[in-house]
Structure 1
Amino acid sequence: MIDDTEPDELRVSMVDAVLAAGHRLPPAVERALRAVPRHLFVPDAPLADAYANRSITIKPGPPGGRPASCISVPTVVAMMLAQLDPRPGERGLEIGAGTGYNAALLDHCVGTTGQVTTVDIHPDVTDHACRALAATGHDRVRVVTGDGAHGHPDNAPYDWIIVTVGPWDLPPAWSDQLAPGGRLVVPLTWRGQTRSVAFVKQDNSVLRAQDSRLCGFIPMIGDDQHGERVIALADDVALHHDPDQPFDPDRLRGVLDRPSTTVWSGASIVPMESTDLIWPLLTGLGPGTCRFAAAQAAVDAGLADPAFAYSSPALAEGDSLAYLTLRRPAPDTAERRFELGAIGHGPAGAHLAERLCAGIRAWDHDRTAQPVITAYPAGTPDDDLADGQIVDKQHTRLVITA
């Protein structure tokens, strides 16, 4: 039998772990995390799992695929709510109801004078969310079954919109339903990496962000979701890129068989030190940024040596590419530092490796610097865009300014 105090103690430990991980929380968000009983939103999970820093599936996906719905990792929930900073009296929309836990946290933050609406495409997911929200005293939340790409115009305009699934693009409905000055927090993928981006709607309906954080989410399904493209470079090695990048698969296949050049940047990291801001910075410095992914079998066979096997930033151009690598210290070295560099293949491989290292050095100069991310409606003329690298999606023209 569960001791009545045990969930409370586990919840305290969960929030303390979030704070210890370096997340700075607005007071309202911290109070919500300490108050809302997370375990009641995943009643089939063991109590310890409900408060562990892990996601829990509530709706499985296809065999061998990702879940269709889950409750997100507490640190990611806290990170996105901190970016959003929901306040008393605000009206907000959540895309992706999940278990209802996130909506309950939002409801706690906006209070009785605010209003939260949450939308999900799966009827069984919204049923679960309704039951959990009612059971925990958050039945003021409006739960809607529908395609989140269309938002929910009935309750617009919103002071904020938060997206807890992984969209490929920014549907026009989200900007249209957001009040001027409103906030949109969304896990958006471009050039191979997914980041939670905190946009603010400008007077001209353009969305602008100066803060993005590394994350990962279940891909959104529904209207107008078009994912990245994949080029098989060799067995167990692939390049992931955006549809607007004019890469020729025939020219890149077999590129790893071509002569290689390794360039070292002079910048180094210690174990567990993050390099995630290198990636968005690279997307603002040139058009060829993408994701290099190698299975462990390919690494063990010496076919590739990426810094992070499944997900390392890369630059591709024509029949050449370069990807991030690490120089590992000798086993008997007292100081465990790893130098960052790039391995290039193909005729322009050395040039691309030098460019990648230039991006690493720019990051090393200020490891907290982030590019500005501006989202314009598709069809906006080039002359009306900010300076920077353009990422063209179906509904959106992203401009990344490093």
Structure 2
Amino acid sequence: MQTTTSPDALRAEMVERIRKAGHARQGAVERVLRDTPRHEFVPDADLAVAYDPWQAVVTHRFEDGRSLSCASAPWLVAAMLDQLDVEPGNRILEIGAGTGYNASLLAQLTGRADLVTTVDIDPDVTAKASQALAATGYGGVHVITGDGGLGYPSHAPYDRVIATVSPWDIPVSWWKQLAPEARLVAPLRWRGQGRSVSFTYTDGRLVSDSLHLCGFVYLRGEYEGELSGSITADERVKLHWDRDQAVDLSTLRGVLDQPRSVAWSGITIAPDESHDGFWLRLTVTDQRVCRISAHPDAVPEVVNPIGGYWRPALVDGGSLVYLTARRLESGDGVRWELGAIGHGPAAAELTEHLCERGPRLVIQARSIRAQAGHLPCGHPGGRAWCQRTQKTDPVRFRES
């Protein structure tokens, strides 16, 4: 049922709520959000949905029902535009055309629609994005049907690159199309969790300055890197890991039948407080970080992981440990203490390790294929993880 509130009023309310949440900090980003009729890019959505700050709108689906393309939630659009920091006259590449809404915002931020190129692999997506951009006055945006992992070299170099699909790696083509001191914003995935990471390209490296927890449709093709498999005979508990990790499912099947080892960290969180920072810091120091998922029927008898979609785990040979939590009540109210449950020969050691406090991090990326033309043995796709002793890592994490 359509709301009777006007689009202008709903849009103004949306922007105010986004700003109160700490996004659209830049005046230019706030301005383009206020000026752009988002409902014209999602015509099948109710006005209230189109201007809900926290809701994404799915516009295309695969045959199995999974999301193929969508309009990102407005708060995340604002957050990523803050990260991108567009300046007038910037040449911009967008990977993932979506509805065309984000490209229209980019055209306004840079000042000329013809400086914006948006690429999507699906011709239906690009056709509808082109129609919406033309109808709203931004027909000068270059809408390209093609593999987003290849970028679009004809309009390179780019001062700003933004991806609205999630790559497992930073494709070499993107590196090659960056101008000096360019900024790149991409929702990267590593070790089972995803962040919108903003990088500055300097001296052949990408160095991050901000992160936002987020989830996006995956960049398709060779850029996918997560594997998964069951560790129980009934398929109720699965492990998910990256293809550069040495995980052998055959050594883990039946591991949950072995005795539990439990440790508690002393770290507590409020009921509405996220534990994603714990997981993020863990990826700095440990190559073994992955993700566990469980059917509700398996909880808590078979496994008892912390609630929510993000459930970090560590695998070492035939041993497995995962994050858990227990409810604590005191005069200050309810808190949850983070802990670890482990199974297998190294369970006691792993549970204690998972409970250790981690450092703050800065992400640095360096392209081996773009610079050296080859990869070290065992490094898929030009990326590796946070082994601080490996000087050739194309994606490196360091403590600060």
The answer to whether the superposition gives a TM-score over 0.5 is: yes
- CA drift of 1:381 comes to 6.1
Q: Show the counterpart of 1:272.
A: 272
C-alpha separation between the residues in 2 aligned to 1:322 and 1:71? Answer: 37
Q: Show the counterpart of 1:48.
A: 48
Moved more, 345-354 or 110-119: 110-119
C-alpha separation between the residues in 2 aligned to 1:256 and 1:50? Answer: 45
Q: How does 1:262-341 map to 2 (within 5 A)?
A: 262-299=262-299, 301-330=300-329, 335-341=333-339
Q: Show the counterpart of 1:190.
A: 190
8 Å Cα contact 1:89/1:113 also seen in 2: no
C-alpha separation between the residues in 1 aligned to 2:274 and 2:258? Answer: 31
* Change in 2 beyond 3 A, CA 1:257/1:143: same
The answer on 1:400 being equivalent to 2:391 is no
Q: How does 1:173-184 map to 2 (within 5 A)?
A: 173-184=173-184
8 Å Cα contact 1:294/1:310 also seen in 2: no
C-alpha separation between the residues in 2 aligned to 1:380 and 1:354? Answer: 35
Q: How does 1:51-66 map to 2 (within 5 A)?
A: 51-52=51-52, 53-64=54-65, 66=66
- CA drift of 1:9 comes to 1.0
C-alpha separation between the residues in 2 aligned to 1:15 and 1:105? Answer: 14
- CA drift of 1:375 comes to 3.4
Moved more, 14-23 or 116-125: 14-23
C-alpha separation between the residues in 2 aligned to 1:31 and 1:336? Answer: 41
Q: Show the counterpart of 2:95.
A: 95
8 Å Cα contact 1:389/1:401 also seen in 2: no
C-alpha separation between the residues in 2 aligned to 1:306 and 1:43? Answer: 41
C-alpha separation between the residues in 1 aligned to 2:358 and 2:64? Answer: 43
> Which letter maps to 1:400?
F
Residue deviations 1:171-207 (CA, integer Å, cap 9, x gap): 111010110111111111111111111122122x222
> Which letter maps to 2:150?
H
> Which letter maps to 1:372?
I
8 Å Cα contact 2:195/2:212 also seen in 1: yes
8 Å Cα contact 2:175/2:367 also seen in 1: no
* Change in 2 beyond 3 A, CA 1:387/1:283: closer
8 Å Cα contact 1:185/1:198 also seen in 2: yes
- CA drift of 1:142 comes to 1.2
**Displacement over 3 Å in runs of 4+:** 1-5, 378-382, 385-388
8 Å Cα contact 2:183/2:198 also seen in 1: yes
8 Å Cα contact 1:133/1:141 also seen in 2: yes
8 Å Cα contact 1:88/1:114 also seen in 2: no
Residue deviations 1:329-381 (CA, integer Å, cap 9, x gap): 35x865111111111111111111111111xx236xxxxx3333323324466
8 Å Cα contact 1:244/1:391 also seen in 2: no
8 Å Cα contact 2:198/2:208 also seen in 1: yes
8 Å Cα contact 2:237/2:294 also seen in 1: yes
> Which letter maps to 1:86?
V
8 Å Cα contact 1:341/1:357 also seen in 2: yes
Q: How many residues align?
A: 386
Unaligned runs of 5+ in 1: 364-368
* Change in 2 beyond 3 A, CA 1:309/1:47: closer
> Which letter maps to 1:279?
W
* Change in 2 beyond 3 A, CA 1:295/1:20: farther
- CA drift of 1:170 comes to 1.5
SS at match of 1:362: coil
> Which letter maps to 1:60?
R
C-alpha separation between the residues in 2 aligned to 1:134 and 1:182? Answer: 28
The answer on 1:371 being equivalent to 2:362 is yes
8 Å Cα contact 2:93/2:116 also seen in 1: yes
Q: Show the counterpart of 2:151.
A: 151
C-alpha separation between the residues in 1 aligned to 2:341 and 2:166? Answer: 31
The answer on 1:253 being equivalent to 2:249 is no
Percent identical among aligned pairs is 48
- CA drift of 1:311 comes to 2.2
C-alpha separation between the residues in 2 aligned to 1:201 and 1:227? Answer: 24
Residue deviations 1:60-92 (CA, integer Å, cap 9, x gap): 21224x221111111221121111111211110
C-alpha separation between the residues in 1 aligned to 2:321 and 2:384? Answer: 28
- CA drift of 1:124 comes to 1.2
C-alpha separation between the residues in 1 aligned to 2:345 and 2:173? Answer: 45
> Which letter maps to 1:207?
L
- RMSD after superposition: 2.6
C-alpha separation between the residues in 2 aligned to 1:295 and 1:83? Answer: 36
SS at match of 1:76: helix
The answer on 1:106 being equivalent to 2:103 is no
Q: How does 1:116-265 map to 2 (within 5 A)?
A: 116-203=116-203, 205-222=204-221, 224-234=222-232, 235-265=235-265
> Which letter maps to 2:64?
P
SS at match of 1:75: helix
SS at match of 2:355: helix
* Change in 2 beyond 3 A, CA 1:113/1:233: closer
C-alpha separation between the residues in 2 aligned to 1:387 and 1:41? Answer: 38
Q: Show the counterpart of 1:366.
A: none
* Change in 2 beyond 3 A, CA 1:289/1:391: farther
Unaligned runs of 5+ in 2: 378-382
- CA drift of 1:280 comes to 2.2
* Change in 2 beyond 3 A, CA 1:371/1:350: farther
- CA drift of 1:140 comes to 2.2
